Each structure stands twice: as structure tokens, then as C-alpha cells.
A and B are shown apart, each in its own frame.
Chain A
Amino acid sequence: MAETIELRDIEVWDGNMAASQALRQVQVDVVAAYPITPSTPIVENYANFEANGYVDGEFVMVESEHAAMSGCIGASAAGGRVATATSSQGFALMVETLYSASGMRLPIILNVANRALGAPLNVNGDHSDMYLGRDSGWIQLDAYNPQHVYDLNFIAFKVAEDHDVRLPAMVHQDGFMTSHTAQGVHTMTDEVGYGFVGEFQPMNDMLDLDHPVTHGVQTEEDWHFEHKARQQHALMTVALPKIEAAFDAFEKLTGRRYNLVETHQMEDAEIAVICMGSSVETAMEVVNELRAQGIKAGVVGIRVFRPWPLEQLAQVLKNVKAIGALDRSSPHGSVGMLFNEVAGTLFNTDAKPVLTNYIYGLGGRDLTKAHLVGIFNDLKANMDAGKPTTPLQQYIGLRGPKLSFF
């Protein structure tokens, strides 16, 4: 039996340590992993736990990220709790198998310390890898700080392993800005943490030798569509309520509340930014300052990126007059993903806010409070004019002349 660790009520952990501790507490059976900055410490910490008897599952250090997810798929199909971690180029190398994992309905947990995708090679945080995963059929949860990383891991296991869901889930955090930033994290004891997720309940497990199963079949136009439709059904119809239920249960246990869509000062907001990751919190701080000046500003953070919380978001945005969608990934050839998603979310509603797009923070470029104040100034002007006063898409924090499109 693995030894327990006595945690203090508040530990000062960076996002990576928060993820490692959560993986330890839920007692993952198999971790197959490959290192890449900035997620490497997650598996290093985990290896340390193993080397010191704090976990007693199998830790398989494979030869690539593709193999890491391949091993996770084999292990998960065999029937047990499985997790790994990656970033950036490693995530990109994994993409083929991400689709396999979700299509095979295997509840694997992938911690992603979000990082830019080269070229040019860059180890710092942006959301390119997170966006790359958005059609892969995984549940994608987004953490804004180390506390969220810790909490969302438990929630991810609970939802993914639910027999009605059986879908893999990613827990995203911002590379460096969260993964390497130490903050206070309220902990659960090993017993309480494990108890929230509970014992792994196998289903269609290959290791049930009396009931052989075939995983990863061939289908063509005769059945493929039905499989994918059922997968989407599980993601849209089953997963969303299960995530909400897990959020409720988690709040009951810890007092910490999570929502599909996080809001700050949105009750009467006239202008708002919508963003993801650590930027959500920086924007909250800016909004507090603007509110003190009498400006009715608010922040919307996407907590559950996939499945997309369309109805909940439409509800939150219904009275807003100007919205800035902030994307930390270059859309290359179009408007940003959040712009598109927000536009699609609101299109058939009565809300007709002015919607503009900001691309920021690529390759870890700082998003400062001053940048955010500038964006809110734009939004205020858009609201007053009732139409965009700026180009639809602007690059924020870029050196040299201003860059904008559309």
C-alpha cells in the first residue's frame, strides 16, 4: 500500500505540483509519460512519489508523447485509472491518439501545461495546444491558478470515469504563468481527495479474462457516423450535467465553487471581456479598479471549454453591450476561436452586442493590466457608438506598429 502524505491545509505549490499531488491522491494505476517543458515537473514529481513509496501503480517512462498516450490507451482499455501530462509539441505529437482515446471512450486524464507551438520554438505559455485539442472529443477544463489545477483534476477523474460519460478529460493550465507560479493551495487530506473520486470501476476491461472485449474496431460509412453521434451525445447531453453535478459535490466537500462559465461583476455589466487561463484573474483585478471609477465592466471566463457551455454563456452575455473576445492563440487566417464561439453562441438570441477580437500573449508575452484597461476603453467606445470603433481583430502587446485585421 502506498504511504500517505500529511499535507498542510494550505500548501504553497505551483500548478505542476498541484497536478502531481492530485494524481497521487487519486492513486492512478498507470502513468505513461514523456517529458516536455513546462509540464515536465508533473511527471518528475510523480516519479519522486513513486521512488519514495507514495504511489504504488505503474509509472512507464516511454519514448515519445505519442507512445505515452498509446500506452495510456492500452492501460485504460485494460481497466484502471490512467493519467499523463504534456504540452505543446508533445501535445501535437499526441493528436492522433487523442482522437483514438475519445473514440474508444476511455476515461484518461491528461494534464496540459499550455505552451506555444513552434516554429519559432518557444517554451512559454499560450493556448495554441489547447485550441489544437478542441475537436478531439475530450472534455477540456481550464484552470486559472494552481488551486484550480488541483481541484479540477479530482473533478476530471470523477466525471470522466462515470459510466454514463466514459470520455477522456484534459485539465489545462497556463504554462509557467500557472505551472511554475507558486501560490497557496487549499488541500484535501489523502483520504478525502481519494474519497471524492472513489475506487475505479472498470467497464469493458480487457483484463476481465472471462469476458473478452474488442477495442478499436473498424467502421466505414455504415457505422462510423453512429459512433461519432453517440460520442457527441455523451459529451453534450451527459457530460455537461455530470460536470455540473461534480462541481456541486465538490463545493459541498470543500466550499470551493466552480461553474461551466465563470463570471465576475457580470450582473449589470455593460462591457465585458471573455478569456481563458490566468488572464481571467488579471482581468478581474482590472475590472475591480474600473468599477471603482464607475465603469460597468465585467469578466467572463470559460471554465469548461469542451463541451462548449453555449446556453450558459448566452445567458451570461444577454445584456452586455460590447464584448471583447481575447484569444491567446493565433487563428492564422481568421478571427480567434473565442470570437467565433461567442458569435455563434449569441447569433440566434436577442442580444446584439458589439463583438471584437483581441489576439494577445503569444509565446508567453505578458498581458498587463494596462493592456486590459486599453481593451476596456475600446469596448466602452464601441458601446457608445453602437458599432465597432476599431478593426474587428487587433493584436495586443505586439512590438512595432499596431497590427489589426478585418
Chain B
Amino acid sequence: MLEIRWHSRAGQGAVTGAKGLADVVSTTGKHVQAFAFYGSAKRGAAMTAYNRVDDQVIMNHEKFMAPDYVLVIDPALVYVADFTAFEKPDTVYIITTHLSTEELVASQPKLQGKKVYTVDCIKISQETIGKAIPNTPMLGALMKVSGMYEMDFFKENMIRVLKKLPQKIIDANMIAIQRAYDEVK
């Protein structure tokens, strides 16, 4: 079982990102789950979303998770959210930030000795989609770091997932995904 935890702010698209990922993964015959913790939180509140992926039918509905991947799509959350909760020794962190990985680890000692990757999904989404919606670029970064799928396959499926959006926005998302894939370090 592969488990992923997203840290974001409500409105940044973590739930959509998690559901989009689940959708793509599902097409490869794997079983998926995507869910989130909800409260009455409004836009801007820190929140978490989750993915489970397995070869077997997923029957576990506990919200508790010791994640294999932690995806942080808002730069400030590494300083205010408990984003290392229930980490495993080999948990991989992919974090949105304008800092380099070394600068980030220096600014947040909790990350010392961890597998940390950084990418500026906020900047990428602003420059491509025109809005700070860092969810799709984060998926590009995840593809690179995890080696989960070939980029062509992933993009082709994301186009299907996003099909309700205007073509211009879909195209911009594809560029954002590719850029994050190329830029994550």
C-alpha cells in the first residue's frame, strides 16, 4: 500500500489534486482512495488530504495514516502545520517553496536527515495558469520523484480528468505539470 498525505490551505486544490491522482492511478488497474479532513474551515485554513494506492481492494477507512509521501503545496505550512506527523524513516517530502532544498532544511530543522525535494509550485502555477493553484504542478513533481508513471501517460490522463475546463486552462496545466517535473530538486 502506498500512502500519500497532502498539506495545503483550503482552496488551493489539494482535494482536487488527490482526486485527480486517484483517477489517473485507477486507469492502471490499481485500487485507489482519495479523501480529506474537513471541518467548517473556510478558504485559507490549513487542511490535509490523503491518497491510498494498492494492488488489492482498499478496505481500510481509518483516517490515521503513516505516509510514504508528504506533499506540501503551501510554502508557509512547513512552519505552522504538523506536516511530519506519523512519518516513517523513509517518508519522502515534496515541498513547495521558493527556497532551495538546503535553504529550506536550514530554515526548518525538522527536515534534517529526511528525503526532501523542493519545487516552487506557486510560482509555476502563477506563471502558467495565471493563478496560485499549486495542485497540478505538485503532481508533476510527484511523478518525477516517485517515478510512478511516464510523463506522457500521466499528462494524457490528466487531460481527461480536467476535460470540463476550457482548453486554454488545460494546456496551461500541462505546461505547469511539465515544468514542475523538470524543476523539482
Contacts and interface: CB of A to CB of B under 8 A. Distances in A.
A and B, direct touch (CB closer than 8 Å): yes
A162 interface: no
Interface string B50-94: 000000001111111000000000000000000000000000000
Given A180-B38, A182-B32, A285-B60, 12 more contacts: A8-B27, A12-B32, A14-B19, A14-B35, A38-B38, A124-B39, A180-B35, A181-B61, A183-B58, A281-B59, A282-B62, A370-B64
B3 interface: no
A180 B36 contact: yes
Q: Chain A: interface residue count, which band?
A: 20 to 34
Given A12-B23, A123-B40, A184-B26, A282 B34 contact: no
Contact of B62 (A8, A176, A184, A368): A368
A119 to B, nearest CB: 14
Contacts of B32: 12, 182-184
Contact of A182 (B22, B39, B62): B22
Count chain B CB atoms within 10 A of each CB in A144, A176, A181, A279 and give the residue with the most: A181
A14 B35 CA distance: 9
B36 A10 contact: no
B60 A369 contact: yes
Interface residues of B, number: 23
8 contacts: A123-B38, A123-B40, A176-B35, A178-B61, A181-B33, A183-B32, A282-B60, A367-B61
Interface in B11-39: 15, 18-19, 22-23, 26-27, 31-36, 38-39
A278 interface: yes
Contacts of A176: 35-36, 38
A43 interface: no
A324 B98 CA distance: 52
A30 B58 CA distance: 35
Interface in A269-313: 278-279, 281-282, 284-285
B59 A282 contact: yes
A124 B62 contact: no
Interface string A142-157: 0011000000000000
B73 to A, nearest CB: 18
Interface string A163-182: 00000000000101110111
Given A176-B38, A180-B35, A182-B32, A366 B64 contact: yes
Contacts of B15: 180
Contacts of B35: 14, 176-177, 180-182
B52 to A, nearest CB: 9
A124 B23 CA distance: 24
B170 to A, nearest CB: 18
Contact of A12 (B19, B36, B58): B19
A347 to B, nearest CB: 32
Count chain A CB atoms within 10 A of each CB in B31, B34, B40, B60 and give the residue with the most.
B60
Most buried by B among A121, A124, A176, A184: A184
Contact of A368 (B18, B19, B36, B64): B64
A366 B63 contact: yes
A182 B61 contact: no
A233 to B, nearest CB: 37
A144 B58 CA distance: 12
B1 to A, nearest CB: 10
A369 B1 CA distance: 15
B157 to A, nearest CB: 11
Given A124-B38, A182-B32, A177 B61 contact: yes
B42 to A, nearest CB: 12
A14 B58 CA distance: 14
B152 to A, nearest CB: 20
A181 B34 contact: yes
A178 to B, nearest CB: 8
A236 B32 CA distance: 38
B26 A10 contact: yes
A282 B26 contact: no
A8 B26 CA distance: 11
Contacts of A10: 26-27
A181 B63 CA distance: 11
Contacts of A177: 35, 61, 63
A129 B118 CA distance: 45
Contact of B26 (A12, A180, A278): A12
A102 B36 CA distance: 36
A282 B61 contact: yes
Given A180-B35, A181-B35, A183-B33, A278 B61 contact: yes
Residue among B18, B33, B36, B61 with most chain A CB within 10 A: B61
A293 to B, nearest CB: 18
Contacts of A181: 33-35, 61
B59 A284 contact: yes
Nearest to A183: B33
